[in-house]
Amino acid sequence: MQFFGRLAADYEAMFGVTLESLKGKRVLDCPSGPSSFVAQACAAGVDAVGVDPLYEHGANELRQRCMDDIAYTVKSMATYEGAYSDLDLQAYADNKRAALELFLPDYEADRAGVRYINASLPTLPFADGEFDHTFSAHLLVTYSDPASGGILPNSPFTLEWHIAAVIDLMRVTRGSLHLYPTTTRTNPARRHPYIEEIVRRIETKNLRSHHERNSNADNMGVWKCRFEPSTYQRGDASQNYLNASLVIERQHHSH
């Protein structure tokens, strides 16, 4: 699992949102990693919080881990003949390093641990409906098993793990939950089967997990799914028509 992250501008492209539109909102980024989303969003007046299990470590350790992971990943992408042909790998690495340099000072400044929380899916330490919007990029789908279209051999992130993770992300979200990517890392790309199953279960009100704490589907409320076109470059331009985030939106009924 790679510990590197992207810039706020990349989040805007992935999810089709602007920091401006999130101003004054309470927003969760999970996983946040060494992405600069939280730092840049907070600077723009967003009440943003990031979650990652590696936040148990100090800034120096995270810097080293991130630099190593960027170098390793770019090297393996350069030798991979698959879906990355449209990517400028130098720009890809520069982008991750730029995000790290914005992340680290903000991470170090957060001594009270209110913006960067050490926790992991599928069990988040937040109240029900605490966030107006939740963003989750490059963990779900991406790190599923290659047999399902992800990149992590022997992945612990099974379909049931994905279902439990989405249920807890929905639980802490009052407005909308946004997931990216939604396609496989195959050439050609397809809609990821776990995304199709998540949508199917939400639409048939059948979203239950083996995770006991979350097993009461009746308390979940009413949600709608839609795909939002994304302009984020994944390196597989031939599949751009499938490039989208999944928006899972809570339906608020007026009385």
The footprint of ligand SAM (CB under 6 A) covers 1-6, 30-33, 35, 52-54, 120-121, 137-139
In the complex with ligand SAM, the residue whose CB is nearer, 65 or 191, is 65
Q: How many CB atoms lie within 10 A of CB 53?
A: 15
In the complex with ligand SAM, the residue whose CB is nearer, 180 or 242, is 180
In the complex with ligand SAM, the residue whose CB is nearer, 4 or 92, is 4
In the complex with ligand SAM, the residue whose CB is nearer, 53 or 221, is 53
DSSP secondary structure of the chain: -------HHHHHHHHT--HHHHTT-EEEESS-TT-SHHHHHHHTT-EEEEE-GGGGS-HHHHHHHHHHHHHHHHHHHHT--STTTT--HHHHHHHHHHHHHHHHHHHHH-TT-SSEE--BTTB--S-TT-EEEEEEESSTTTTS-GGGT-S-TT-S--HHHHHHHHHHHHHTEEEEEEEE--B-SSSS--B-HHHHHHHHHHHTT----S-GGG--GGGG--EEEEEEE-----S-GGGGGG-EEEEEEEPPPP-
Residue nearest to ligand SAM (CB): 33
CB of 248 to ligand SAM, least distance (A): 17
CB of 2 to ligand SAM, least distance (A): 5
In the complex with ligand SAM, the residue whose CB is nearer, 30 or 242, is 30
CB of 210 to ligand SAM, least distance (A): 16
CB of 139 to ligand SAM, least distance (A): 4
CB of 47 to ligand SAM, least distance (A): 18
74, with CB counted inside 10 A (0-12, 13-18, 19+), is: middle
In the complex with ligand SAM, the residue whose CB is nearer, 53 or 129, is 53
CB of 137 to ligand SAM, least distance (A): 3
